[in-house]
Amino acid sequence: MRRAARGIHGAGLWRTPHRTRPPRLFERVQICRTVACVNLAVTAPDRLSVRSVPIPDPGDLISRLPDPAALAWVRHGEGIVGWGEAARVTLPGGADRFAAAGRALGELFGAAGVDDRVGVPGSGPVAFGGFGFDPASPDSVLIVPRQVLGRRGGRAWLTTIGEAPDPLALVRPPAEPSSLTWNDGALPAPAWQAAVAAAVRRIRGGALGKVVLARDLAVRAAEPIDARVLLRRLAARFPGCYTFACAGLVGATPELLIRRTGGDVESLVLAGTTARGAGPAGDAERTARLLASAKDREEHAYAAEMVRDALAPLCAELHVPDEPEPLTLPNLIHLASPVRGRLAGDRSVLDVVAALHPTPAVCGTPTPVAAELIRELEGMDRGRYAGPVGWVDARGDGEWGIALRCAQLDGTRARLFAGCGIVADSDPAAELAEAQTKFGVMRYALQG
Ligand SMILES: C=C(O[C@H]1C=CC=C(C(=O)O)[C@@H]1O)C(=O)O
């Protein structure tokens, strides 16, 4: 596929004009309105005043986060982190939640006064966000931080909304979670295996081809859990994953739902999994078995085909590999399909997210049948687990992952999530073991 030079100035979907009227910042107003079928709440000053400036390399981004309400999207030390809250958009749910979020941000960013002296994806106004997996889940949120620190390709920048920036400081490492007590979530292990067996029967009966079933674990600590400890551990242990935090959802996902950089889009489809082997020979043997596994290939094919079908109408060029390749992580090996394309028209990254979610990597095929079976068998609300998580800027550029290998923090408590793709040949005991390995990511983040 021919790739055009990367445009860092996208189509300017949301224009950010300079205004002369002085901003009345931090005079908080609560605007509640109905957009299509979604009741949306925007908490924001009437106009954002945004300034991005180049800065010397700040080094590790996560160690600059000044408080536990951390916002982060970091991979291999690059990305953006944010803190403070200049604006928040909350979406109680609805199939229309991505479009409603885009319209709300369009208004906020379109009315902003912007002085962007950096001009790269992620500079200027940015919103971090996470969307509920299920349209019925009331959990979608977008947060425009008061400060954003960015670092990519040898450049670094600081964005400030409102008052003069607080000076950047290295923050004393926060306290690690202690006295953890663990409990089952909605389904104990035997009940979850029974749910997997029920799904296999439904699949063999011809109702659907694939469903992804997840379970949750509950943990409690002696003191409120600080997201920054978890982020630091995850980024160090899983540098190739996207370490993220948004409104208490913290994790390290290997799965890139979509990155939009100007007209270019990229995705990394993952489905089909095995645990790491013992040493290089063990890994090689596991990788060969994974690549040859008809069950894992089938799981993967559903996901890759759906991503192709969803992106094709949006793209002038699209390349989806014919065969998956192995992706080796510190704990697991996945089947992976790196997808690249060029958008046909002016579409923000949120438009593309809307077209892709939920992929069969987290839901199943056919989507409506799988979504209904998930509601029937899992016995829980996934919240923002398995939903899109990431960031979007005023150009419509951004990066969104699928929120996997994550936990939702709530004071002294956290809920961990892990799921597995189920097809006709799935074995409930093997799926439970795979889910346990996936939980290991956040167990490590919490326990060290
Ligand atoms: C649903 C999860 O993983 C998905 C992504 C990659 C591989 C998967 C699998 O092989 O089952 C899942 O589809 C999860 O980690 O909770």
The predicted-structure confidence for 357-384, as pLDDT tens digits, reads as follows 999 999 999 999 999 999 999 999 999 9
Q: Is 295 a catalytic residue?
A: no
**pLDDT at position 39:** 65
The Cβ of residue 2 has, within 10 Å, a number of other Cβ atoms equal to: 6
More confident of the two residues 18 and 181? 181
In the predicted model, what is the mean pLDDT of the chain?
A: 91
ipTM reported for the complex surpasses 0.90: yes
pLDDT at 164 over 70: yes
Q: What is the pLDDT of residue 168?
A: 85
Contact call for residues 30 and 89 (beta carbons, < 8 A): no
* Average pLDDT over every residue of 310-325: 98
- Segment 203-219 shows an average pLDDT of 98
* All domains in the chain, ordered by first residue: 29-164+180-447 (3.60.120.10)
Residue 275, exposed/middle/buried by CB under 10 A (0-12, 13-18, 19+)? middle
- Residue 408 and residue 249 in contact, taking contact as beta carbons nearer than 8 Å: yes
Q: What mean pLDDT comes out for the span 53-68? A: 96
**Is the pLDDT confidence value at 17 over 50?**
no
Question: Radius of gyration (Cα) for the chain, nearest Å?
Answer: 21
> Which residues form ligand 1's pocket by a CB distance below 6 Å?
212, 214, 255, 270-273, 299, 334, 361-362, 404-405, 418-421, 438
Position with higher pLDDT, 42 vs 424: 424
Query: One-letter amino acid identity for 121?
Result: P
Asked if 393 contacts 122 with a C-beta cutoff of 8 angstroms, the reply is yes
- Nearest residue (by CA) to ligand 1, atom 4, is 361
Mutate to test the pocket of ligand 1, among 211, 267, 273 (most ligand atoms within 8 A of CB): 273
Distance 329 CA to ligand 1 centre (A): 13
pLDDT of residue 433: 98
| Out of 12-16, 189-193, 401-405, least confident range | 12-16
In this prediction, residue 299 carries a pLDDT of: 97
Q: pTM for the whole thing?
A: 0.92
Which residue out of 133, 200, 212, 432 has the highest number of ligand 1 atoms within 8 Å of its CB and is therefore the one to mutate? Answer: 212
Read off the pLDDT of each residue in 226-240 and give the average, rounded to a whole number.
98
- Residue 210 catalytic? yes
Whether the pLDDT of residue 10 is over 90: the answer is no
pLDDT at 48 over 60: yes
Confidence at 268, pLDDT banded by 50, 70, 90:
very high
Residue 21 has a pLDDT of 31
What's the mean pLDDT in 332-346?
97
The pLDDT assigned to 45 comes to: 76
Atom in ligand 1 nearest the alpha carbon of residue 361: 13
Q: For residues 122 and 114, what is the distance between their CA atoms, to the nearest angstrom?
A: 13
Task: Report, as an integer, the average pLDDT of 61-80.
Answer: 97
- Pick the residue with more confidence: 32 or 278? 278
